[in-house]
Structure 1
Amino acid sequence: PACCPDHSVSPTRSSKRALGKIRKKRNSSQPPLSNKAGMLIHFMLQKFKLKQPIKKIDMLKIVHKAFKAQFPEILKKATDRIELVFGLELKEIKPNGYSYTLVSKERLAKDGVLGSTLEVLKNGLLMPLLGVIFLNGNCASEAEVWDFLNALGIYDGKMHIIFGEPRKFITEELVQEKYLVYRQIPDSDPLSYEFLWGPRAHAETSKMKVLEFVAKINSTVPSAFPFHYEEALREEEERAKAKSASKARGAAKATAHSTVPLSDPSSPQ
């Protein structure tokens, strides 16, 4: 059964192509290269957690000399996936190309304050998840979410180096933190569930920011998704109006307070 029958925007061809392109980031290369990229990702994330430099010589050892010629392609595949899932970017420590570190791009608005290393890594998955939900019409069935996560190498029941048990992470942790809503689809048979944005996601980011993220992944602009772009613009306008109204109310209260006559301290009580 379809989820969220009352949503205003349905998945479009452009949004489906966008989701497909995200999946292809994992599946476009030959399996051996994908496997090597996965090994590099595991290695780089371990180094990031330990706050140790990532040395090129160590990465070459992991890739093996048989794949030395394909190393640039494997490294790009690994770094693209790390940026997409975790919001981390590979940077040179010194301009010699031999030693690197992962730097957080911090996608969600948090006044520039980063949380713990683990929190940063976990929150890196939020923007892609919110994008999947938005592109699927402001809600996504559990099957659609797992289809997306599987394309990123995250599987139900398989422990992950960062997220632990993925099902617990998306259906409990992110729900308890109010980033996601996980609910049963009414009258579904067999019993099915869906994901929506939680109140904290609405407060800390916006549909336009999520659409900009999706557009960047697809090497395009937000307006390439016309229906979603229009909805995001409406939300921006509504937020701007609400902010202006709030400021006006605050100014009115301040004016009213300043015009209240003060008693003359010299007058008899």
Structure 2
Amino acid sequence: MMAEVMQFILIKDQKKIPIKRAEIVKHVLKEHRHIYPKVIDRVTQTFEQVFGLKLLEIDTKNHVYILINKLEPVPADVCSTNPKMGLLFVILSVIFMKGGVVKESVVWNTLKKLRVEQGEKHEDFGDVKKLITEEFVRQKNLEYVRIPHTDPPEHEFRWGLRAEKEVSKMKMLQFVSQLHDQDPQSWSQQYKQATAGPSSQRPQNM
């Protein structure tokens, strides 16, 4: 039963989709739902000890989980091997360097310089707007929030829970520093955040 639950979670995680307790019960445990707490404890322990993965409950009320990599943060050179992750990395870096939250227009203006337009079908990304505002958001890599009292409606981006847990802010700052040929400490605010503990990692309103 534990192996089947692990397999179900791994299949879901291939698309980086959050996993719900209700789905595990419905598709795997079925009439054995009463043993869910025991099974999920063993699954969590096995993922951590054997695979170096952490099953993180991001919604305790509805019991929603994501699987994150405990061993290594996402490296900067992922950009060359996985175009979608490269695009995500660029967006996360913009958000981070701008103080943790940016208007949607800032992101699109940045991507336009890389010849990525929101209204066009891209060779690697397909529908770019859908990828960024739906897929990355569903994966918990980004938060896409409407700015109150804006007409027409405006939105802003923040780091999602998965990015907070998986992506090293220090590696990101080093990457940006290399691009600008500067020392990471040149950006004092970002350097302070990158070297802070986990409790200080969520972006603040600017």
Normalised by the shorter chain, which TM-score bucket? 0.5 to 0.7
User: Who is 1:207 aligned against?
Assistant: 169
- The corresponding residue for 1:157 is 119
Preserved contact between residue 185 and residue 191 of structure 2 (Cα < 8 Å):
yes
- The question of 1:184 aligning with 2:130 is answered no
Higher strand share: 2
Question: Do the aligned partners of 2:73 and 2:168 also contact (CA within 8 Å) in 1?
Answer: no
Q: Please give the per-residue CA displacement for 1:142-187, whole angstroms capped at 9, x wherever unaligned.
A: 1000000100000011111100011011001111111101110122
List aligned pairs for 1:129-168, cutoff 5 A: 129-168=91-130
- For the residues of structure 2 that align with 1:127 and 1:174, how far apart are their CA atoms? 11
User: Could you tell me whether the CA contact under 8 Å between 1:207 and 1:235 is conserved in 2?
Assistant: no
Whole-angstrom distance in 1 between the partners of 2:158 and 2:96: 8
Work out whether residues 185 and 192 of structure 1, in 8 Å CA contact, stay in contact via their aligned partners in 2: yes
Structure 1 unaligned segments of length 5 or more: list them.
Answer: 1-107, 240-269
Confirm whether residue 194 of structure 1 aligns to residue 156 of structure 2.
yes
Among the aligned pairs, what percent are the same residue? 39
The code of the aligned residue for 1:210 comes to M
Match of 2:11 in 1: none
Contact 1:127/1:213, CA 8 A, preserved across alignment: no
- 1:29 aligns with none
**Does the aligned pair in 1 maintain the 2:136–2:142 contact within 8 Å?**
yes
State the structure with more CA Rg.
Answer: 1
2:73 aligned partner: 109
1:123 alignment partner, one of 80, 85, 92: 85
Query: How far is the alpha carbon of 1:207 from its aligned partner?
Result: 2.0
| Alignment partners' CA distance in 2, 1:121 and 1:174 | 13
Question: 1:137, 1:238 → 2: CA distance?
Answer: 13
Shift of 1:224: 1.2
**1:87-102 equivalences in 2 (<5 Å):** none
Residue 162 of structure 2 corresponds to residue 227 of structure 1:
no
Number of residue-to-residue matches in the alignment? 126
CA displacement, residues 101-146 of structure 1 (integer Å, 9 cap, x when unaligned): xxxxxxx8369xx9xx7xx221111221111001111011010000
Residue 83 of structure 2 contacts residue 124 of structure 2 at CA under 8 Å; is this kept in 1?
yes
* Secondary structure in 1 matching 2:89: helix
CA distance in 2, matches of 1:236, 1:123: 23
Which residue of 2 is the match for residue 216 of structure 1? 178
Distance in 1 between the 2:152 and 2:197 partners?
35
Give the partner amino acid of 1:159: K
Letter in 2 for 1:140: V
| CA shift for structure 1 position 206 | 2.6
TM-score w.r.t. the length of structure 2 is 0.56
1:171 counterpart (127, 133, 148): 133
Q: TM-score, normalised by structure 1?
A: 0.43
| Aligned partner of residue 195 in structure 2, secondary structure | helix
2:74 touches 2:168 (CA, 8 Å); kept in 1?
no
